Chains A and B, each alone.
Chain A
Amino acid sequence: MWLEILKEKLSAVWEFFWWFLFGTFLEKRVAAIRKEAWDTNDNVMLLLFGDYLGLPNPISYYTLELLPYLAEEMLPWQRRIMNRQSVVAEKAAQYDFT
């Protein structure tokens, strides 16, 4: 029994320590990963629904059945895509050539 309690306490300490680490060192790294996640996600959306933007898509008939799951994402995604000056410009910005 006491062992369980000790474990719990330790894990609470560990969690605190973790969040401390997170706050100081990892935040930037996580932000980068999060950005990459969204970018990859946007690219997947482009492959799925590119025909709405005029890109040919050999399986547009089949990607339709994904719409119920992706409909919520659809409009924000289109806004993001439209806002991008160009994909290249965005990629270039990531590398920070200055």
Chain B
Amino acid sequence: MGDQKGNREGKPPFIFFGGKGGTGKTTCSAAYAARLAKEGRKTLLVSTDPAHSLSDIVGTALSDKILPIRENLWGIEIDAAKEAKRYIAEIQDKMLAIVSPAIVEEIKRQMEIAYLSPGSEEAATFDKFVELMDELGNPYEAIVFDTAPTGHTLRLLSLPEILGTWIESLIAKRRKSLELFKMAGRFEKDLMKRAMEDPVIESLTRRQKRFEKSRTYLTDPKSSAFFFVLNAERMPILETERAIELLEKFGIPIGGVVVNRVIPPEAGDFFAARLAAQEEYLQDIRRRFGAKKIVHLPLLRSDVQGMEQVDAVAALMGDIMGEIDEAE
């Protein structure tokens, strides 16, 4: 695979950055996207962070509509609550067209329950991800996802696996009940009609296909790679290891690990004790994640703000994808 080094075709188009809160996910996503854009790939940078820190880092006020950041680089901040609201409004409109207003009124409360249910924002974010992935090629050739802190992202990426199975069994049960209606309906016209046309199975099947497709996107190393950002400390190392195990269980290819805020050796006496501890953690990281690409990103003098500094980070990160090819 060495011949693919630095070759745009060799890099998967969907890149995810994940990790614990505050480790540097947004910074790394921006740096990586900036690098792709510089290589001439039309790149979309996607943030799911409700705190909207991506705007600060790239120095452009982003929104839930795609906006240009610089040549070959665009950005969007997904607003999960807004996406969920839009989805529900669409359903309500559709319902008003099909069902009597009295029934709609009675069912409204239940729609609110579903809207408030714990997974709804994740599902809305996930749908938006897939929507963006579907648009690959027009015109974006790469999409870099700055995901939310670990637990949330893991649940998000495991959706197609878990929900796919659930939907499958639902479709089977619905089919069975329709079969039965059909058998009984041989003698009753209205039951027969029920069994013939079923928008429920149609709708469930559409969902199932979408989950299948997103699974293909997420599990094919040619299309996706997931990077973990962590700091050289004990708990983040263990958490990253667990998270990697989980993603691998779901078949999601791990691109590598970015160790951020590495204290440089020239930091001086003041950091001597920290440096020694850090060396141990770095060794631990090599031991645990040695099979994967590991990139060290030094602790910087200040926060990262504006594209100039993002470019500087990109240069320090190196070509994390290219070097993976080298390692193989």
Query: Which residues of A line the B interface, CB within 8 A?
Result: 22, 26, 30, 33-34, 36-37, 40-41, 43-44, 47-49, 51-52, 57-72, 74-75
Contacts and interface: CB of A to CB of B under 8 A. Distances in A.
Contact of B184 (A33, A61, A65, A68): A33
Given A52-B110, A58-B166, A72-B99, 12 more contacts: A22-B187, A33-B183, A33-B184, A44-B173, A51-B114, A59-B119, A61-B120, A65-B91, A67-B95, A68-B91, A69-B98, A71-B98
Contacts of B119: 58-61
B123 interface: yes
23 contacts: A26-B187, A30-B187, A33-B184, A37-B183, A40-B177, A44-B173, A61-B87, A61-B117, A61-B119, A62-B167, A64-B91, A64-B115, A66-B203, A66-B204, A67-B91, A67-B95, A68-B95, A69-B98, A71-B104, A72-B99, A74-B103, A74-B106, A75-B103
A52 B113 contact: yes
- The A contact surface, by secondary structure, is helix
B180 A37 contact: yes
A64 B110 CA distance: 9
Nearest to A59: B163
* Size bracket, chain B contacts: 35 or more
Contacts of B99: 68, 71-72
Nearest to B206: A65
B193 interface: no
Contacts of A41: 177, 181
A40 B183 CA distance: 13
Contact of A51 (B95, B103, B113): B113
Contact of B180 (A33, A57, A71): A33
